[in-house]
Structure 1
Amino acid sequence: MERTLHGFIPLVRFYHIPSDVFFYKVLPYRKLLPKQLVYEITEYNMKDNLYYNFENIPYNFNLLYRASREGMDTKQFRNNCNNKGATIVITQVKGTNQIIGGYNPLVWDSSNSTKATTDSFIFSFADKKDINTAIIGRVKNTNSAIFCAGTLGPAFGPGADLYCTSGKQWKCSSQNHYYSINLPFRTFFAEDYEVFQVIKKQSIG
C-alpha cells in the first residue's frame, strides 16, 4: 500500500485541500506521507476548533464482490453491489501484471442512467510491481461520470472509458468522460476483479 501510494503523492495538491477534508481524509494516512510534508501541511491547515484523533481511520473498506468467489457474472455484481454507496473497483487483467480500476463515490444501481459527480476517477498500473507505471484518469465530463445499467458490471462513463460488458470482458476504447490512462487495448479479459464498499465511520475520536 505504502509503495503504491508514494507514486501519487507528488500529484496531489495538498495545499489546495480544504482544512476539514485534509484532517479527515488525508491525515489518517500520514504514515504514508513524507514527514516534512505532513508537518508543513498540518501547520498550514491547523484549525483551533477542529479536534481529530490520529489513531482512528475514518473509513472502513468492505469487500462486496470478488468475481472468482461469487462468479464472473454481472447479475451477481448487481446483487452484491447495488445501492451500497461509494465503491472502489480493482481489476486484474488476464495474462498480465496490469491492474485497472476506478472509484465511484455514488451508488451502483440498475436504473439505466448516468450519474453526475466530480469525485470519481479511473486508474491503471501497467505493472502492479512498479509504482512508476501508475496513472490516474480524473473525470472530465462530470455530468455523466458514472453509468448504471442492469446488463453491465461497473461502468465509468456511458461510452467506453472503462466498463465491464460481461463477467470477464471489459472495454476501454474512449476517453470521452475521463482523462486517458494510456491503455494499450480496447478490450481485455479480467483474471479477477473486486469491489470494495467505502464506509465512513459514524464518529471520529
Structure 2
Amino acid sequence: MENVLQHCLPLVRFFGLSSEDFFQKVRPYKKLLKNQLYEELLESYLNPNSEPNDNILLPRYRNIDGIVNSKIVNLNIASLISRWMDKINIKSKYIYTRELYLPYEFKLLLRGCKDGFTPKKFHKLCDNIPHTVIFIK
C-alpha cells in the first residue's frame, strides 16, 4: 500500500486539515508517510510559529458560492479580515487556512468590470453604507 500511495501523497494538502482531522485521519496512517514529512506536519500542528516546509502544500483558496461573491476576496481572506475586525489574536499566521472564522456577511457592493471604475460610481454605490470594508486589486 505504501508503494502505491507514494505517488499520491505529495498531492495531499495536509496543511489544510484541522488538528482534529489530522489526529483522526492522518495519524493512524503514520507508517505510510515518510518520517520527515510526518514530523514536519506534526510540528505545524503543535507549534503555531512554525513555517510550512516546501514539501507541505498550503490549502487551495476556498470559494463557496453565495458566501463571498468576489474575484479578489475568497473565504480565507474574509476569515482573516474578520479576525482582524474582532481583534482576535492569531497565534499562527497560517491559522486562517485551517479554521474559517466568518461571523460577518460580506456583500459585494461594486464590481469594477461590471459597474465601472469611476469615483462617481464608487460614491453612488458605497457612500453612507456603514461598516464597509474596501478591497482593491
Same fold judged by TM-score > 0.5?
no
TM-score between both structures, scaled by the size of structure 1: 0.22
Structure with greater proportional helix content = 2
Higher Cα radius of gyration = 2
